[in-house]
Structure 1
Amino acid sequence: MKIGLDVLGGDYAPKSTILGAIEAQKSLSGDQRLVLFGDQEDTIKRIAEAGADPSLFDYVHAPEVISMHEHPTKAITQKPNSSIAKGFEHLKNGEIDSFSSAGNTGAMLVGAMFSVKTIPGVIRPAIATNVPKLKESFGILLDVGANADCKPEMLNQFALLGSLYAEYVYGIENPKVGLLNIGEEEEKGNALTISTYPLLKSNPKINFIGNAEGRDLFSDHADVYVCDGYTGNVVLKLAESFYVVTLKKGFKDDFFDRFNYEQYGGSPILGVNAPVIIGHGISSPLAIKNMVLLSKGMIESKFIDKMKTAFN
């Protein structure tokens, strides 16, 4: 197994990514290797300075950086030696089994769609995230930003993608799927949700339990919550602010601690032909470590094969 990681992606890279990679490596077995994409000489030097053994990692020299403010498509094309472009090149060629980065989200989406491409039958991939429940578990919310405007058929596919992810990566048996809406009644909502409801209701591949309101998101009402990317991103950013507010107020609570993005590492792009994970721009070493371990889990679960079978 070879797990690709962009060393240059993120606001605190390469220091944060390298320290996270070192910690993640400690949880890998002998046949599992971390492949680091970045300035090879600088990366090896920093690993040694941190007291780790550089020989425990593989390297791909990719010294160019795609910044957060660059146009994704142009940057991928014009910077072939960037860490993100090189990562997707190796992923496409099967030289690594997964690729993750805390860098430019748009570039990660473009790279995923134009290199490894979407699984046949998938209209558009979706970005998923974890939302904590009041109890110790958590739910899956998607889409959270890949598709601002959606069609009902897309949300129907998101429901299946989220259900497969919850079942095979997190071991949630027969996950309950809810459609995020403004009311629980079937006829409630806007044109998108009203048109989506009957598609989900008649989908035999998911356990659809009906509409879910915003107040249900952190309860046991459902395991997977489906929405368009515009709505999902607003919800995600609001949820992330809860943790920040509790820190500023000096309030310590286990539930709110689980809003900390570091615990989940990153958000997978579901619906493409290889595990691709996007990390938070401000990712700490702990977040990077957990992003690598999520990549490992997705590879081990053979999740990509499960999606291909479901959409065949």
Structure 2
Amino acid sequence: MRHLTLALDIMGGDFGPHIILPAALSALTENPDLYVVLCGANTVLEPWLAQQDKHIQNRIILSDCQQTVTMDESPITALRSKKDSSMRRMLDLVEQGQADACVSAGNTGALLAMAYHVLKTLPGIDRPALISQMPTVDGGKVYLLDLGANVDCDSEVLFQYAVMGSVLAELVGNIDRPKVALLNVGSEQNKGNDRVKTTNRILSETASLNYIGYVEGNDIFSQKADVIVTDGFAGNIALKSCEGLTKLVINEVKKASNQNWLNKILAKIALPLLRNIYLRMNPDQYNGASLIGLRGIVVKSHGNASSEAFLYAIREAVKEVNMQVPTKIKDKIEAVLMERH
């Protein structure tokens, strides 16, 4: 069986090696066919590696990097001056074919800029998109994109997002003919700006997509659609608003628990459930957000993710490698473009 190799940005995120190395060890333990390239400072990695079992050591490669991209660094500065950083190295390894995919919890803007520069987009794709799962009311999932990679998208890019989201939902989400919808300010055909209306027309004419029309913000978690498409501006606001609302509810329950003994008992029951909902509302912390549309697989974990959350991101990368997501997106785009012409 062919080995699967992931490149990991060990120095990225708020906590760097302290969080990422335990996650890497867990991933290697649960997947005997997995190899990892740890991109970071050997002064940190070598002592840790020496403590591991020989069977684990044999599946780890160290790639010494002299630079680190900080969480507040400008994407342009990182792209131009951090060519020996752990983030850049993992992307270079994917581009060179030495790794099948890569995972980072580092600076999102820098990762987007570097990934776009190093890996380039697939034929027929103008811009990559950040996509991840969100929970739905019936315990299911919906894929939302774009979550912030591109704040200003024209109709053609939104159309490409729909195709990419559909492919990911079908392959990784195991959803047969996923229902694709376009986020809008209303469900009526006359609602929305010209860009949304044009995208709606293009998607309606694309027979190979299971397009169901518009959905509104309050439909995101309704299970009406399996994939919801919007630009990165609206998508990121929707995501952060939901996270903020969940935080508000948690804080209100905490305050109410101090009012009387009955509220205190109810709060003890409710708070764990609410915290679990919050994690699910924060997709790149819960299971990784994928940067799709590139010629390689890149998964972004939250900057303050726990080891468990980073492990979810590693698992997501493994799934996408096994499902050959970039190749399937390329094939689908080619087929859809031929259909349109």
TMscore range, shorter length: over 0.9
Aligned counterpart for 1:276 among listed residues 294, 298, 318: 298
| Structure 2 match to 1:183 | 186
CA contact (8 A) 2:166 2:178 kept: yes
Find the residue that maps to 1:140 and give its secondary structure. Answer: strand
Deviations 1:244-265 (A, max 9, x none): 3454435343772532547743
Find the residue that maps to 2:213 and give its secondary structure. Answer: strand
| Structure 2 match to 1:26 | 29
Q: What's the Cα RMSD here?
A: 2.0
| Structure 2 match to 1:256 | 277
- Structure 2 gaps, min length 5: 254-266, 335-341
| Structure 2 match to 1:89 | 92
Question: 1:292: Cα distance to partner?
Answer: 0.7
Task: Establish whether residue 148 from structure 1 lines up as the match of residue 170 from structure 2.
Answer: no
Decide which moves more: 66-75 or 10-19.
66-75
Task: Establish whether residue 108 from structure 1 lines up as the match of residue 103 from structure 2.
Answer: no
Question: 1:165: Cα distance to partner?
Answer: 0.4
Find the residue that maps to 2:45 and give its secondary structure. Answer: helix
Larger radius of gyration: 2
Question: 1:204: Cα distance to partner?
Answer: 2.0
Question: 1:124: Cα distance to partner?
Answer: 1.0
Rate the CA distance shift 1:50–1:246 in 2: closer, same or farther, 3 A: farther
Rate the CA distance shift 1:260–1:156 in 2: closer, same or farther, 3 A: closer
Rate the CA distance shift 1:261–1:51 in 2: closer, same or farther, 3 A: farther
Find the residue that maps to 1:253 and give its secondary structure. Answer: helix
Trace 1:194-213 onto structure 2 (pairs within 5 A): 194-213=197-216
Decide which moves more: 201-210 or 292-301.
201-210
TM-score by length of 1: 0.93
TM-score by length of 2: 0.86
| Structure 2 match to 1:305 | 327
Deviations 1:95-116 (A, max 9, x none): 1010110101122112221111
Question: 1:161: Cα distance to partner?
Answer: 0.5
Counting aligned pairs with the same residue, the percent is 33
| Structure 2 match to 1:289 | 311
* CA distance in 2 between partners of 1:263 and 1:137 (Å): 18
Deviations 1:12-68 (A, max 9, x none): 112011121112222212x32021111123123235568895444221111311112
Trace 1:45-84 onto structure 2 (pairs within 5 A): 45-47=47-49, 53-84=56-87
* CA distance in 1 between partners of 2:292 and 2:284 (Å): 20
Q: Answer 1 or 2: which has greater helix percent.
A: 2
Question: 1:192: Cα distance to partner?
Answer: 2.0
* CA distance in 2 between partners of 1:129 and 1:241 (Å): 18
| Structure 2 match to 1:168 | 171
